[in-house]
Chain A
Amino acid sequence: MSKILTVSLPPHIHAPGSVAACMWRVNLALLPAFGCALYFFGLGAAIVTVVSVLCCIFFEYAITRWMLGRTPHIADGSAALTGFLLALNLPSTLPVWTVIIGAFVAIGIGKMAFGGLGCNIFNPALVGRVFLLLSFPVQMTNWQLPGVDRLAYTDAATGATTLQLLKSGAVEASDIDLWNLTFGAIGGSLGEVSAVAILIGFIFLLVTKVITWHIPVSIFVGATLLSFLAGINPVIELLSGGLLLGAVFMATDYVTSPMTGKGMIIYGLLIGTITIIIRCWGAYPEGMSFAILIMNGFTPLINRCVKPKRFGAAGRAVSA
């Protein structure tokens, strides 16, 4: 018998998924939100996103190939995803050079410094974003008025976000148009404008089983509960700022979130409450990025303490 047989250990069949499939699906789920950003902010949104995605891919390729001397796997879509998420967390008026710095920090410090895909502790896109927010507070809070002048970029007419207005006391919660909050005619980062677009992405991710409900839902629950206790309108809190975007796309990042359902719920509840705490009592009008980064830091601890329930740990000896 001359036939050469393959011999390997079981299992001999494998589910169809791959890392690339997961990552590209998340990229796909971001498209509705990106479409809204294009619609409301026009040219600026396009420039920021393209620059961010291309730079993230470039930095990942460059660092892997020329600094670490390994084979880059940019086709797995994770660098593109970081770029995409970073862009959706930036204002549409942000100058190109700032976006490039953000992309470098996200990939270089947020991801590759820890060892690359799967090893980072903090969500790379948020590392990039928070770095920019602390370093360039003016540029990072230059919010283009939605749907006004779509061909403007850094020179666009700007205004305040809902959360800024609330924080400064310029408007009352009762004056806020919930319709606009839901469909997107609000100032903010690219991805913060339309709740519906993000929810479409959320449903897509749930249906394709890329993520589970645990983290987003517990973030919503945590934020809602604390809003009630603090006497503010939870609907406005959920729909404004980066809470939805963060809950669906950033907090659910596989690498930086806990490994068990229970752990995910704890993580989500805390992100929700920390966000509201920062919004109500902190110096910043928006707290989602910080809340997620803080909980990213606690994820190893959560993984250590919250273990799945083992089969047979609570078995009963038969009495008969």
Chain B
Amino acid sequence: MATFSKGGIHPPQNKITADKPIIPLALPRKVELLLSQHIGAPAKPVVVKGDKVVRGQIVAEGSAFISASVHTPISGKVTKIDTVRAANGMPATAIVIEADEEEHIADEDSRMNPSVVRSDTELEILTPEEIREIARYAGLVGLGGATFPASVKLTPPKDNIIDSLVINGAECEPYLTCDHALMREYGREVVCGAELMRRACGAGRVVIGIEDNKADAIDVISRICDEYPHISVKKLIAKYPQGGEKQLVKAITGREIKSGCLPSSVGVVVHNVATAYALYNAARFGLPVMERIVTVTGKNMSRPGNFLAPLGMRIGALIDYAGGLKDNSGKIILGGPMMGRAASNIDSPLVKGISGILILEDGESRRKAVEPCIRCARCVSVCPMGLEPYLISAYGSNRMAEDAEANGTADCIECGCCSYICPASRPLLDNIRLGKRLIAEKKRLQNK
């Protein structure tokens, strides 16, 4: 058993939905597909208003090296390409598709019986280029929440040799259980996807890191890994933020990624279990990323669960499947409670990076009153990056960009451990992010 060495916290896990099976949701009759569901350039629409499209068809194509295509989960007609409100309240361009009854029934049919496009032997002879092409075509991005285009990360870098592929099954965020349920129910597919990833990036070994609070998932995956000589499971002691890239690599390989560097600098590539699963689906069935597993949960939800949800469906509809909002629901978080973003409206569509929807009650959703810093040093002791949050936070809020930079503000992974632990409820991370902005601003001015 291993974990990362520096800092970290143990928030209450509240994994209410840990034992819930993955329930496929009915396809909606209307979807709104955002062009920008990933890091990088927005996808370019390849359909126009009035076009007929079929389930799985590309509707917007990745427009640059770092970009990802978007596919429609339903057949139907493109009714408009227009600006909608994204979950954060900002305007975003979406392709809107609506299906009629006949198309809807046909879709449900084909969805339940996907046709195999590659046999086992065909999967085995795929070359690294072909695997990357499959990922690129499928619009595959990091489904843990980072949404970085997967095909880019599967390309071995020029100046580093990749010897290990780390698969992130830590799921350290409280409440979220989508990866847990996935590993339990689709372990074989996850491992098979991980093997494809290994071949694509040329790594000698794969380690799947799973926290010890998911014993059943560890069992399932370990048994399957016995059949794969290059793949093993590493049991991790549960601690947040284990799923942080740098923390996970440290816990699993013992290697410490230098400040400002990528995992490839220590010969490692990190992918999420959900991404591995999606790659398998793309390679085996030719299924692009048009659905994802989402945990919809919260202490006052009547039917919390893990759902296989089509992208582009209304977040509000997804919440309704879990029992709907209650009078005392106060905040909707997309992602986990530590790093997820609060949604300003529930009419926005589901996008690739949303692994969970967490509904907090009114009382829990308000911040506590800020008190003076009593210099208790707890923020320092929990920071997994070895920073001094009280200090860089003060530099941020006092707009002292230079000092903020000199004290490592850029290293902050925004895990939120410091704000979580502070007994004075200080908004440490808010100010640190302000500091990051100031540093970026300063750089921009200097380069002018």
Q: Do A and B come from one complex?
A: yes
Interface residues in chain A, defined as those with a beta carbon under 8 Å from any beta carbon in chain B? 1, 3, 5-15, 17-19, 21-22, 73, 76, 78, 116-119, 212, 254-255, 257-261, 307-318, 320
State how many angstroms separate the Cβ of B147 from the closest Cβ of chain A.
16
Residues of chain A within 8 A (CB-CB) of B365 are 6, 8, 12
A318's contact among B89, B266, B390, by CB below 8 Å, is which? B266
B419's contact among A11, A257, A312, by CB below 8 Å, is which? A11
A22 and B371 CA atoms in complex are apart in Å by 13
State how many angstroms separate the Cβ of A298 from the closest Cβ of chain B.
15
A21 and B246 CA atoms in complex are apart in Å by 34
A15 and B418 CA atoms in complex are apart in Å by 10
- Taking residues whose C-beta sits less than 8 angstroms from the other chain, chain B's interface range is 35 or more
A307 and B89 CA atoms in complex are apart in Å by 40
B384–A311 CB distance below 8 A: yes
Residues of chain A within 8 A (CB-CB) of B414 are 10
Residues of chain A within 8 A (CB-CB) of B373 are 118
A314 and B423 CA atoms in complex are apart in Å by 31
State how many angstroms separate the Cβ of A320 from the closest Cβ of chain B.
5
The stretch of B17-25, B107-115, B324-332 in contact with A is B324-332
A312–B429 CB distance below 8 A: no
State how many angstroms separate the Cβ of B267 from the closest Cβ of chain A.
4
Query: B31 at interface (Cβ–Cβ under 8 A)?
Result: no
Query: B104 at interface (Cβ–Cβ under 8 A)?
Result: no
B333's contact among A12, A15, A116, A310, by CB below 8 Å, is which? A12
Pull 14 A–B residue pairs with CB atoms less than 8 Å apart, ordered by A.
A1-B316, A5-B332, A10-B341, A10-B342, A14-B419, A14-B420, A15-B420, A19-B374, A255-B375, A261-B381, A308-B386, A314-B256, A315-B258, A316-B255
A9 and B343 CA atoms in complex are apart in Å by 10
A312–B388 CB distance below 8 A: no
The stretch of B63-71, B212-220, B230-238, B344-352 in contact with A is B344-352
A254 and B424 CA atoms in complex are apart in Å by 12
B163–A320 CB distance below 8 A: yes
Interface residue ranges of B415-448 to A (CB < 8 Å) = 416, 419-425, 427, 429-430, 433
A28 and B245 CA atoms in complex are apart in Å by 42
Interface residue ranges of B332-382 to A (CB < 8 Å) = 332-333, 337-347, 358, 360, 362, 364-368, 371-377, 380-381
Known interface pairs A1-B346, A259-B390, A318-B255. Does A12 touch B340 (Cβ–Cβ under 8 Å)? yes
A261 and B377 CA atoms in complex are apart in Å by 9
State how many angstroms separate the Cβ of A54 from the closest Cβ of chain B.
23
Interface flags, B145-163, vs A, CB<8A=1, else 0? 0000000000000001101
A117–B374 CB distance below 8 A: yes
B371–A19 CB distance below 8 A: yes
State how many angstroms separate the Cβ of B396 from the closest Cβ of chain A.
13
A18 and B370 CA atoms in complex are apart in Å by 10
A312's contact among B261, B341, B383, B424, by CB below 8 Å, is which? B261
B423–A22 CB distance below 8 A: yes
State how many angstroms separate the Cβ of B326 from the closest Cβ of chain A.
10
B339's contact among A10, A21, A257, A315, by CB below 8 Å, is which? A10
List the 6 shortest-distance A-B pairs measured between CB atoms, nearest first: A11-B416, A318-B267, A315-B258, A17-B423, A118-B372, A315-B256
Residues of chain B within 8 A (CB-CB) of A307 are 388
| Main secondary structure on B side of the interface with A | loop
Q: In the complex, which of the residues B257, B373, B376, B411 has the most CB atoms of chain A within 10 Å of its own CB atom?
A: B376
Query: B74 at interface (Cβ–Cβ under 8 A)?
Result: no
A9–B163 CB distance below 8 A: no
Interface residue ranges of B238-278 to A (CB < 8 Å) = 246, 250, 255-261, 265-267
State how many angstroms separate the Cβ of A219 from the closest Cβ of chain B.
17
A29 and B369 CA atoms in complex are apart in Å by 26
B380–A310 CB distance below 8 A: no
Query: B174 at interface (Cβ–Cβ under 8 A)?
Result: yes
Residues of chain B within 8 A (CB-CB) of A6 are 330-331, 342, 362, 365-366
B329–A3 CB distance below 8 A: yes
State how many angstroms separate the Cβ of A196 from the closest Cβ of chain B.
27
A5 and B367 CA atoms in complex are apart in Å by 14
Q: What residue of chain A has the Cβ atom nearest to residue B346's Cβ?
A: A1
Q: What residue of chain A has the Cβ atom nearest to residue B421's Cβ?
A: A15
State how many angstroms separate the Cβ of B1 from the closest Cβ of chain A.
21
A311 and B256 CA atoms in complex are apart in Å by 7
Known interface pairs A1-B345, A254-B377, A260-B377. Does A312 touch B368 (Cβ–Cβ under 8 Å)? no
A317 and B246 CA atoms in complex are apart in Å by 14
B338–A11 CB distance below 8 A: yes
State how many angstroms separate the Cβ of A65 from the closest Cβ of chain B.
17
State how many angstroms separate the Cβ of B348 from the closest Cβ of chain A.
11
Residues of chain A within 8 A (CB-CB) of B360 are 12
State how many angstroms separate the Cβ of A121 from the closest Cβ of chain B.
11
Query: B126 at interface (Cβ–Cβ under 8 A)?
Result: no
Known interface pairs A259-B390, A320-B267. Does A14 touch B372 (Cβ–Cβ under 8 Å)? no
Residues of chain A within 8 A (CB-CB) of B364 are 12-13
State how many angstroms separate the Cβ of A16 from the closest Cβ of chain B.
9
Residues of chain B within 8 A (CB-CB) of A14 are 367-368, 419-420, 425
A8–B367 CB distance below 8 A: yes
Query: B11 at interface (Cβ–Cβ under 8 A)?
Result: yes
B258–A312 CB distance below 8 A: yes
Residues of chain B within 8 A (CB-CB) of A318 are 160-161, 163, 255, 265-267
B329–A11 CB distance below 8 A: no
Residues of chain B within 8 A (CB-CB) of A118 are 372-375, 424
A310–B259 CB distance below 8 A: yes
State how many angstroms separate the Cβ of A111 from the closest Cβ of chain B.
12
A312 and B266 CA atoms in complex are apart in Å by 11
A22 and B256 CA atoms in complex are apart in Å by 35
State how many angstroms separate the Cβ of B102 from the closest Cβ of chain A.
31
Query: B385 at interface (Cβ–Cβ under 8 A)?
Result: yes
A9-B342, A78-B374, A310-B408 are known contacts; what are 4 more A-B pairs with Cβ within 8 Å? A5-B342, A10-B342, A259-B377, A310-B386
A18–B386 CB distance below 8 A: no
State how many angstroms separate the Cβ of A258 from the closest Cβ of chain B.
8
State how many angstroms separate the Cβ of B403 from the closest Cβ of chain A.
12
A222 and B407 CA atoms in complex are apart in Å by 31
A315 and B258 CA atoms in complex are apart in Å by 5
